[in-house]
Amino acid sequence: MMLLNKAESLISAIIAKIGKTTKSRQKFILHLLILYMGLRGKYNFINIARYGKYTEQTYRNQMSKPFDWAGFNKNLIQQNCSDELILAFDPSYLPKSGKKTAHVGRFWSGKDQAVKPGIEIGSIAVVDVQNGTALSLEAVQTPKIAKNETGESMVDHYAKVILDKLPVIQSLHIRYVAVDAFFSKNRFIDAITSQSPLEIVGRLRNDANLRYQFTGKQNTGRGRKRKYGVKVDVEHIDWRKIRFCFEEDEDVQIFSGIVYSVSLQRLIRIVYLQNYDQHGYETSHTIFFSTDLNLSPEKILQYYRQRYQIEFLFRDAKNFAGLEDCQARSENKLHFHVNASLSTVSLAKALHYLNVPKEERDSFSMTDVKVMYFNQFITDFIFSKLALDMSCEKYKSLYKECLNIGRLAA
């Protein structure tokens, strides 16, 4: 019971901080999040009712009501994460059919590298840089947009998702948003940086249109002074202007400098990663960037690479917390299920990974967590039916043995 008591204490304490939640609602959220950590089979209403203590209709009704997932996860992050936090944003495709499903359409699936029918969520995650893991803040379903009369595009929607959560993001003292190369667009970056104090860390195309800063003598006379120099040849950069920083590996060198991006229409700091083959010849390169000109090259690289932690969050939620399983069609129920699934993984990390001293940690395993909670559920059910005297040492030993069946590290 110690496992459940620990989880119940943490969840109850966080829900109590949110406020404006009735006692019956608090009990339901507590019950559901613990159930999500150990549920076997599909995460649909029928199967949830089989393992849970409420009826199928109760789960449907409760999951149609709003819940402050951003507030819940903010408190979870504040209690369990380090001080060095960055934001990661990424959309994720979920297979879904049915003409009546909210915002069903055709979206890009990164796994299949194709546009497929289904739904999409835009997920905001907070990455704990020191601990190297991501916790969900909130996910929002992407509407089916094809540049309507107002001129809004998908990129505008993604920027709005982040800006709508700005008060919560600022309360976590986050300054940087790490995004992949898709978001290296003037429209997205301008929306974020002009309406918030956030800075962007991302990646540019390998053939990005860049220009050096002009440092020569200005022409005298009328007319605007020259601001930018020649175009950057990204295959053969000028080492005098984009300077060597450090050697990451024997076949990888890092260079950095401030250049003007023609597509982004702004000065940016780039980190140029040059790969070499075994004979010392240049092979390929990658260009990372930050809108913060003072951010160090080391941090730009670190923040961009840590962005990938959001992909592990999606993976664990899809494989072990039923992210793709919801049978609901309404927008409210889909929103609730998606965030319950992602928050379950975050809770598991807080309870069984982040609270372990760093030098004693193994890699985080959602498989192990799920086995633990399922074993707890089954063991408690069977032992309660047998009415055994749990003060007996023999029964205590047997009880602990049952909890560890199938665990990766029992």
394 and 271 assigned to the same domain:
no
147 and 270 assigned to the same domain:
no
Residue 92 in any domain: the answer is: yes
196 and 237 assigned to the same domain:
no
Average pLDDT over residues 360-385: 83
The total number of structural domains that make up the chain: 3
pLDDT, greater one: 211 or 377: 211
For residue 410, pLDDT over 70 is answered with no
105 and 178 assigned to the same domain:
yes
Residue 51 in any domain: the answer is: no
195 and 317 assigned to the same domain:
yes
HEC readout, the chain = CHHHHHHHHHHHHHHHHHCCCCHHHHHHHHHHHHHHHHCCCCCCHHHHHHHCCCCHHHHHHHHCCCCCHHHHHHHHHHHHCCCCEEEEEEEEEEECCCCCCCCCEEEEECCCCEEEEEEEEEEEEEEECCCCEEEEEEEEECCCCCCCCCCCCHHHHHHHHHHHCHHHHHHCCCCEEECCHHHCCHHHHHHHHHHCCCEEEEEECCCCCEEEECCCCCCCCCCCCCCEEEECCCCCCCCCCCEEEEEEECCEEEEEEEEEECCCCEEEEEEEEEEECCCCCEEEEEEEEECCCCCCHHHHHHHHHHCCHHHHHHHHHHHHCCCCCCCCCCHHHHHHHHHHHHHHHHHHHHHHCCCCCHHHCCCCCHHHHHHHHHHHHHHHHHHHHHCCCCCCHHHHHHHHHHHCCCCCCC
Residue 19 in any domain: the answer is: no
Residue 102 in any domain: the answer is: yes
Average pLDDT over residues 367-381: 84
What is the CATH classification number for the domain harbouring 179? 3.30.420
223 and 91 assigned to the same domain:
no
For residue 397, pLDDT over 90 is answered with no
- Predicted pLDDT at 216: 72
Residue where one domain finishes, among candidates 234, 260, 290:
290
pLDDT, greater one: 191 or 145: 191
pLDDT band (50, 70, 90) for residue 151: low
What percent of the chain has pLDDT above 90? 68
190 and 244 assigned to the same domain:
no
Residue 301 in any domain: the answer is: no
Residue 238 in any domain: the answer is: yes
Residue where one domain finishes, among candidates 290, 321, 348:
290
For residue 145, pLDDT over 80 is answered with no
Average pLDDT over residues 370-397: 76
311 and 270 assigned to the same domain:
no
190 and 317 assigned to the same domain:
yes
- Predicted pLDDT at 372: 85
Instruction: Report the mean per-residue pLDDT for the chain.
Output: 90
- Predicted pLDDT at 92: 96
- Predicted pLDDT at 198: 97
Residue 373 is part of which domain span?
A: 365-410
For residue 148, pLDDT over 60 is answered with no
Residue 49 in any domain: the answer is: no
Least confident of 43-57, 74-88, 374-388: 374-388
- Predicted pLDDT at 142: 94
- Predicted pLDDT at 240: 86
Q: Render pLDDT for 225-280 as a digit per residue (tens, 0 to 9).
A: 777 888 999 999 988 889 999 888 888 999 999 999 999 999 999 999 999 988 88
104 and 253 assigned to the same domain:
no
200 and 214 assigned to the same domain:
no
Q: Render pLDDT for 341-352 as a digit per residue (tens, 0 to 9).
A: 999 999 999 999
Q: Render pLDDT for 166-204 as a digit per residue (tens, 0 to 9).
A: 999 999 999 999 999 999 999 999 999 999 999 999 999
Residue 338 in any domain: the answer is: yes
254 and 217 assigned to the same domain:
yes
- Predicted pLDDT at 225: 72
